Structure 1
Amino acid sequence: MNTPAPSVWRQPAQVWAVAFACVVAFMGIGLVDPILPAIADSLQASPFETELLFTSYLAVTGLAMLVTSWISSRIGAKKTLLIGLALIVVFALLCALSGSVDAVIGFRAGWGLGNALFISTALATIVGAASGGSAAAIILYEAALGLGIAIGPLLGGLLGEQSWRAPFFGVVVLMAIAFLAVLLLLRGPEEKRTPVPFSAPFTALRRPALAVLAVAAFFYNIGFFILLAFSPFPLGFGAMGIGFTFFGWGLALAITSVWVAPLLMRRMSRTRVILTVLPLLAVDLIVAGLLVDSAAALVVCIVVGGLLLGIMNTVLTEAVMEATDLPRSVASSAYSSVRFLGGAIAPPLAAALWHAFSATVPYLVAAIAVLVAALTVFLGRRVLSHIDDEPDDAAVEDAEAILMGDAA
């Protein structure tokens, strides 16, 4: 008699509390997208200055990732999550009350610190507490990521129609709810903590497999964030138009990260999926650059990009989890640090290229960055061979079974 596969959606309350907080945390990435033009107009800021809202947030998130495993191993996952959420509440409120673009840029940096503490700990917490194993946990985490990235621009557009400040107030309320959810629902004794050395993430990046994936993710994120952070300007839409466009983008990302990526990994190795999807993403970015003057064509390219990005996010996350025998929190922190720094470079780079040349050039540079990521994986495929040892008819088939299996 076959035992029904567990459902990824049947999880303890503490997992749902962290997952909900993840949704809200990831909303913060795309929240400012629809209001970038409004912030530029209201605060007399140039596109370059406005794009620094992403850079300060992502740069601090990336750098702080290097110490989050050291912190959480000493004070525990729950306290780290709560401190991260509290910092986001405080700095989102300060953003809403700011009177200059420089102040918003600075407070977004503080927001990034809270984001780093939360995100790096959330994945390890979900993996440790979720039923159905790590494959189910990663799918749930990526679902939260996709949902948050989808809802963020839509909420930003809806609230941004009232004021550029309103989306920040919205985050304050939602993050306060997430704080209470984690405080009340994340219960039970924590696993015995083994202090992680401060140098652990730096040492982790010396591991060849993790280094290859981190470098690839650095360039991949340049393409990711040029598409996300720069596109609101050439689109020429109002807050709601931008919000709906990136809601479609985020929804596409969520669908492929949760459903399509596991199916592909059942049929192909992880590296083969990466080497197939990245060139397709480069083609999409090139088309976006060539057709940038057509708003309709650019919207299509943005949504298609979301489909491809969703696959990449899930595959890269699973690859990193399998790349080394290091604790997941250490591997995730080291990898995410490099990845977020790539994202930090992208928005002001895109604005500078737009000002110096045309709106086409940023997309072409994004395509080149994505191809460099593909080349990095191709050249490093030998040291990545072990992540394909079990593409996992075991892990991936389990993930698919968990997702598609009998809910009874």
Structure 2
Amino acid sequence: MAVARTLILQPDGRLTQQHRTALTSLPPLSVYVHVPWCVRKCPYCDFNSHAASDIPERAYLDALRADLEQALPSVWGRQVISVFIGGGTPSLLSAAGLDELLATLRSHLRLLPDAEITMEANPGTAEAGRFRDYAASGVTRLSLGIQSFDDAQLQKLGRIHDARQARAAIGMAQEAVSRVNLDLMFALPGQTLDACLADVREALSFGTEHLSLYHLTMEPNTVFAKYPPQDLPDDDTSAAMQDAVESELAAAGLQRYEVSAYARPGARCKHNLNYWEFGDYLGLGPGAHGKISFHDRIVREARARQPESWMDRAGRGDGSHIAETRSLAASDLPFEFMLNALRLREGVAASLFAERTGLSLAAVAHQLEAAVSRGLLVTDPTRLQASALGWRFLNDLQELFLSE
């Protein structure tokens, strides 16, 4: 694998080198589908979500088909290993709507027979019959946004469900599909270590195989950023929560395999693993981002963010629904790769760097030496893996690979 160089004559007469990534094989391909509507926008949420009492399902599905058809030349013939339907609240889709969405994907793409198909769901919109219909359409994994089992905390977070609904939704999901993920948040307003562990222990009581655990943060352009909640745990308390949760989950057989993800053996999320291993993903729907590799370049793209604008533009068939397209420069690739791969607790095989970027590890030899000398990276030459210190100061480790 190598980086091809082409000499370019600039207007001022200078010759410069244009670097092109040369990949001998393409990485695995996933598909992300964004459903932007929700019942109510949560005050901490910075996702591309929009409150709606009645979602325009027909217009959305038509636009999604048009979006996919225009994307086909970039992924033609490639196998799809996973699909993730996120939001917003995808479980606002009718059973017939979800069935049509998956049928559209299957008719246009080469989904593997055992492709993991995940759908996010809000416990406040959970219905046993609808979950069974989703499973019948091909959904193999449901990810439930529980956040907490404490009713007072759920109210502070602006969630539309209570703890009783959360428990009921878990039961419905487990009866419908073979894989269920629970999302929890910690470092909540006024939350104690005991309260944090109580949430985790209740999640474990359902035999949970996969848990995503997120620190509450004040993201820009959210209600919480403008009106921060009171009594947030300090950094030391938050760190103690993280450590205690990891120990609790490890004792129950769930290993922390990524910054925010814990799983029992065999239950890791294949879709997200493909992100972290710098695989490819086609993003469909308003605001969806994608990364597509070709043999001579790696391209990132983003769809128009506003749902109405995306639906209108996708329907034109002229590509105007793509708000941004850019080919990654060779100098961008080390940071892009490490930003993802080093989030994995076990890291990745060192050979994956060349396989997924087209660059030799010699291109980042200086950064690797600096990371090892500072104790942030393990010394095993066959792996790219954060040390215990590097894991704790992951941002510092990843920033070493930023282009100068």
Answer whether TM exceeds 0.5 for this pair: no
- Which structure dedicates a bigger proportion of its chain to strand? 2
Structure 1 or 2, whichever has the larger Rg, is 2
Whose RCO is larger (CA < 8 A, sep 6+)? 1
TM band (smaller chain):
under 0.3
- Which structure dedicates a bigger proportion of its chain to helix? 1
